[in-house]
Amino acid sequence: MTTSLADVASSDITLRAFLHGLPGVDRVGADQRAAMLGTRSIKTTAKAQAIDLAISMVDLTTLEGADTPGKVRAMCAKANHPDPGDPTVPKVAAVCVYPDLVAVAVDALGGSGVKVASVATAFPSGRSSLEVKVSDTALAVAAGADEIDMVIDRGAFLSGDYLKVFEEIVAIKAACGTAHLKVILETGELATYDNVRRASWLAMIAGADFIKTSTGKVAPAATLPVTLIMLEAVRDFRDRTGRQVGVKPAGGIRTTKDAIKNLVLVNETAGADWLSPDWFRLGASSLLNDLLMQRQKLATGRYAGPDYFTLD
- Please provide the DSSP assignment of 145-175 as one string: -SEEEEE--HHHHHTT-HHHHHHHHHHHHHH
Query: What is the rounded end-to-end Cα distance, in angstroms, of the chain?
Result: 40
- Is 248 an active-site residue? yes
Identify residues 242-271 at the interface with another protein (CB under 8 A). Answer: 263-264, 267-268
Neighbours of 178 (CB within 10 A): 6
Residue 66 near another protein by CB under 8 A: no
Q: At what angle do helices 162-176 and 12-20 cross, to 10 degrees?
A: 100
For residues 34, 200, 158, 122, the Cα torsion angle rounded to the nearest 10 degrees is 110
Binding residue for another protein, selected from 5, 38, 47, 69, defined by CB under 8 A: 47
Size of the site for another protein (CB under 8 A): 29
Distance CA 91, CA 187 (A): 28
- Is 212 an active-site residue? yes
- Please provide the DSSP assignment of 181-206 as one string: EEEE--HHHH-SHHHHHHHHHHHHHT
CA distances from 118 to 68, 75, 167, 185, 251 (A): 15, 14, 21, 16, 16
Minimum CB distance to another protein, residue 264 (Å): 8
Give me the catalytic one of 91, 133, 173, 248.
248
Residue 16 neighbours by CB under 8 Å, 6+ apart: 160, 162
Minimum CB distance to another protein, residue 280 (Å): 11
Residue 5 near another protein by CB under 8 A: no
Q: At what angle do helices 162-176 and 193-205 cross, to 10 degrees?
A: 40
What is the x/- site pattern for another protein, positions 213-232, by CB under 8 A? ----------------x--x
Give me the catalytic one of 212, 258, 261, 290.
212
Which residue number, 171 or 264, has a Cβ lying nearer to another protein? Answer: 264
Residue 272 near another protein by CB under 8 A: yes
- Is 146 an active-site residue? no
Q: Which stretch binds another protein (CB under 8 A): 32-40, 102-110, 141-149, 181-189?
A: 32-40
Which residue number, 33 or 115, has a Cβ lying nearer to another protein? Answer: 33
Residue 301 near another protein by CB under 8 A: no
Residue 28 near another protein by CB under 8 A: yes
Cβ atoms of residues 63 and 251 within 8 Å: no
Binding residue for another protein, selected from 1, 5, 12, 40, defined by CB under 8 A: 40
Minimum CB distance to another protein, residue 192 (Å): 12
Active site residues: 149, 212, 248
Residues that bind another protein (CB under 8 A): 23-26, 28-30, 32-33, 39-47, 49-50, 53, 229, 232, 263-264, 267-268, 272, 275
